[in-house]
Amino acid sequence: MITTMTEGKGPVKVEVFAVSCAKCRRAEQVVITAVAELPDIDVEVEKKQDLFELKERGVMANPAVIIDGEIVSQGRVPSLEEIKELISKADLRRKSKP
């Protein structure tokens, strides 16, 4: 698990469902790179490999990225810019909550 801490109301939680395929490894790397490029945002990254949990969460294809409980990507490798934008939006939502 990777955690970066800055000011805010708790970290943005990013879960990467990545088993062992090449696309899964690339998706995980994209998330790690995005977090490194967003040092001012609290982010907690957790890699998951439990296929049962994957199905329970409604994910139908690997790799999958879930941000704050919402499936934002599945069955493909999201771009670095896409992940950075999604993390930034999640952070803004957190900061705007009372």
Q: Is 38 a catalytic residue?
A: no
Of the listed 2, 3, 5, 21, which one is catalytic?
21
Residues 6+ apart with CB under 8 A from 47: 1, 15, 16, 18, 28
Residue 73 β-bridge partners = 65
Q: Which of 24, 35, 65, 72 is catalytic?
A: 24
Is residue 42 annotated as a catalytic residue, yes or no?
no
Q: Catalytic residue positions?
A: 21, 24
